[in-house]
Amino acid sequence: MKISIGNDHAAPDYKKAIVEMLIAKGHQVINYGTDSNDSVDYPDFGHPVATDVSEQKAEFGIIICGSGNGIAMTANKHQKVRAALCWIKEIAILARQHNDANIISIPARYTSIQQAVEMVDVFLNTEFEGGRHQNRVDKISY
């Protein structure tokens, strides 16, 4: 799979651990994230990830900032993007099963690196259930 990832200054260590896991599992990674703890603006890293997903240059996206909110709001401005803020594995699973989320947004200040890696793993390996959920997902964009 090709995965696009972006992060702000709150998460360079998170990105590093996630990218290592993705590469170990044979995924290709497009990296827009910063490697520095110097303050940057999360939209500068969320927009490129969302563009990759929207334009089908990547199958999934991973975005990380302090709360996960700002970067998710940024990504969700793009057509065909459904970015889900996830803070535990169960939310990541439901975001895929019920909402067909294609970007996971992670709050670095409220999760551990291990939790983030585990969330990404289950997110990428959970299928959308379709069925009754498809009609709801179809109503998200208008």
Catalytic residue at 86?
A: no
List, in order, residues 6 or more apart from 103 with CB less than 8 Å away: 49, 50, 53, 60, 61, 62, 63, 72, 75, 81, 82, 83, 84
Decide if 78 is catalytic: no
Per-residue CA distances from 128 to 10, 83, 113, 120 (Å): 30, 14, 25, 15
- CA torsion through residues 90, 66, 4, 14, sign: negative
Q: Among residues 27, 78, 86, 98, which one is catalytic? A: 98
Q: Are the CB atoms for 92 and 83 separated by under 8 Å?
A: no
Active-site residue, selected from the candidate residues 9, 65, 78, 86: 65
| Residues belonging to the active site | 65, 98
